[in-house]
Amino acid sequence: MKPLRDAGLSALVALGLFGVMIGLKTDAGPHSLVLRARPWAVAAAVAAVFFGRLAMLYWRQWRPAGTPSPRHVAATLSRIGRYAAPLLLAFAITLPLYAGRYWLDLGVLVLTYVMLGWGLNIVVGLAGLLDLGYVAFYAVGAYSYALLAQTFDLGFWTCLPLAGLLAALWGVMLGFPVLRLRGDYLAIVTLAFGEIIRIVLLNWVSLTGGPNGLSGIPRPTLFGLKFNGGGGPGSFADFFGLEPSISQRVVYLYFVILGLALLTNWVSLRLRRLPLGRAWEALREDEVACRSLGINVTVTKLTAFAIGAAFGGFAGAFFATRQAFISPESFTFIESAVVLAIVVLGGLGSQLGTALAALVMIGGAEVFRDLQEYRMLIFGLALVVVMVVRPRGLVSGRTPSVALGGRRHIGADMMSEGHG
């Protein structure tokens, strides 16, 4: 009887919520908006909630006794991870061989978010600093490249390190005053910083073009060879005697972002095994203990912020060169939120998890584009399901950075998520 009452209660709540949200629809009438009632849609939604809840409760009761423990699941997942990572990499490298233009474009988009996720993972996953304004560094990188390229006529490969450096500088400038704050306070200040950067970009019309943005940003070249659709002297197609085609540029862009993402991955994996990365993780575990061991907490946090920001800046520069047009609209808070969701869903500190989460979230969102209005619903539902089933993210836990014997996986239940 109890499950029935429980399900009835859930249905009642659903009725209260959906009664207005689904039950009433505004349509454009001949003179003004008209309100249309949709009782059947509400009934369907409420019934779905009722039976869904009932099924869930019964499943919980009758679930077989030998349900695997979370630790066992984590160990299995980490074993799968060992094969999944090389497979995923092989898939990513060979994609241009069999994928068409659409899929490659999607690949570029996913890889951009993978890279952003890996960059933010350094700050949030390793150092445990909750940064809600990561998009600020993405924007700094993008505008740095666009302005440097247009003002000084520099190429993509010259500007890329500069864009990263400038973003890192901004990371330090932001970090210096705010890193004394912890937890929620840090999150709110970084969020504000992201907005400030966007608003400055929007209003500093003489430099950034304001809401009109910057257009005609130069495309990347390969050792001076251009990728333009028309071919012509000095172009990639002309040099190799190929038929000029726009898809050559797409393939090139795809490999550029793949390389940048792999660089991010390599640097963060490497840093994790070094004293700096170890200090980040120690900071996430216990800041007070770090201080008692003589670790300069401020400098250590700043390095995490700066290195994370630098990768955000690289990704920004790539974004600018790919789009050839940027405007403040591309750097809203929702971008920070999506990247953070990728990191959290993937499992804090996990490289493979972040890549998988980016693939599912960005790739999934694109694939479901046809479903239009249901897209966000499916998206939200997926988030809730993952957080219920695996609250620590898809791939949680960590591998020790150093070991006397074999490196054994450490479950996430041992780890702290950081308070800074």
Partner 1 sequence: MAPLLAVRDLTMRFGGLTAVDALSFEAREGEITAVIGPNGAGKTTVFNCITGFYRPTSGSLALARGGGFALERMPGHLIARRARVARTFQNIRLFAGMTVLENLMVAQHNMLMPNVARGLLAVFGLGGHAKLERAAIEKARLWLDAIGLTARADDPAGALPYGAQRRLEIARAMCTDPVLLCLDEPAAGLNPRESDELSNLLRQIRSGMAGLPGCSILLIEHDMGVVMRISDHIVVLDHGRKISDGTPDQVSHDPKVIAAYLGEGDEDEIPAEAQA
C-beta of residue 56 within 8 angstroms of C-beta of residue 42: no
Examine residue 401 and tell whether it contacts partner 1 (CB under 8 A): yes
Distance in Å from the first CA to the final CA of the chain: 46
| Residue 232, amino acid | G
Least distance from C-beta 321 to partner 1, angstroms? Answer: 25
C-beta of residue 217 within 8 angstroms of C-beta of residue 145: yes
Positive or negative, the CA dihedral 37, 40, 45, 49 is positive
| Nearest alpha carbon to residue 225 among 213, 241, 214 | 241
120 contacts: CB under 8 Å, gap ≥ 6: 131, 134, 308, 312, 339, 340, 343
CB-wise, 90 or 293, nearer to partner 1?
293
Q: Binders of partner 1 among 268-297, rule CB under 8 A?
A: 270-271, 274-276, 278-279, 281-282, 285-286, 288-297
Task: By CB under 8 A, name the one of 208, 303, 327, 336 that touches partner 1.
Answer: 303
As to burial, measured by CB atoms within 10 angstroms (0-12 exposed, 13-18 middle, 19+ buried), residue 60 is exposed
DSSP per residue, 24-82: EEEEE-SSSEEEEE-HHHHHHHHHHHHHHHHHHHHHHHH--TTPPPHHHHHHHHHHHHH
CB-wise, 338 or 410, nearer to partner 1?
410
CB-wise, 299 or 378, nearer to partner 1?
299
CB-wise, 241 or 405, nearer to partner 1?
405
CB-wise, 158 or 416, nearer to partner 1?
416
Examine residue 169 and tell whether it contacts partner 1 (CB under 8 A): no
In 122-222, alpha helices (H): 135-152, 156-178, 183-203, 205-208
CB-wise, 108 or 307, nearer to partner 1?
307
Examine residue 403 and tell whether it contacts partner 1 (CB under 8 A): yes
Examine residue 415 and tell whether it contacts partner 1 (CB under 8 A): yes
**Stretch touching partner 1 by CB under 8 A, among 213-221, 235-243, 328-336, 405-413:** 405-413
Task: By CB under 8 A, name the one of 85, 88, 338, 410 that touches partner 1.
Answer: 410
CB-wise, 101 or 270, nearer to partner 1?
270
Examine residue 402 and tell whether it contacts partner 1 (CB under 8 A): yes
From CA 252, how far away is CA 117, in angstroms rounded?
22
Letters for 358-397 (x = contact with partner 1 by CB under 8 A, - = none) are ----------------------------------------
CB-wise, 79 or 407, nearer to partner 1?
407
Examine residue 28 and tell whether it contacts partner 1 (CB under 8 A): no
Count the site residues for partner 1 by CB under 8 A: 38
How far from 231 is each of 155, 156, 225, 253, 336, CA to CA, in Å? 19, 20, 10, 17, 38
Tokens of 349: 């500190």
Task: By CB under 8 A, name the one of 88, 267, 338, 383 that touches partner 1.
Answer: 267
Task: By CB under 8 A, name the one of 226, 249, 322, 398 that touches partner 1.
Answer: 398
From CA 119, how far away is CA 315, in angstroms rounded?
9
From CA 307, how far away is CA 118, in angstroms rounded?
11
CB-wise, 152 or 176, nearer to partner 1?
176
Footprint on this chain of partner 1 (rule: CB under 8 A): 267, 270-271, 274-276, 278-279, 281-282, 285-286, 288-297, 299, 303, 398, 400-408, 410, 414-416
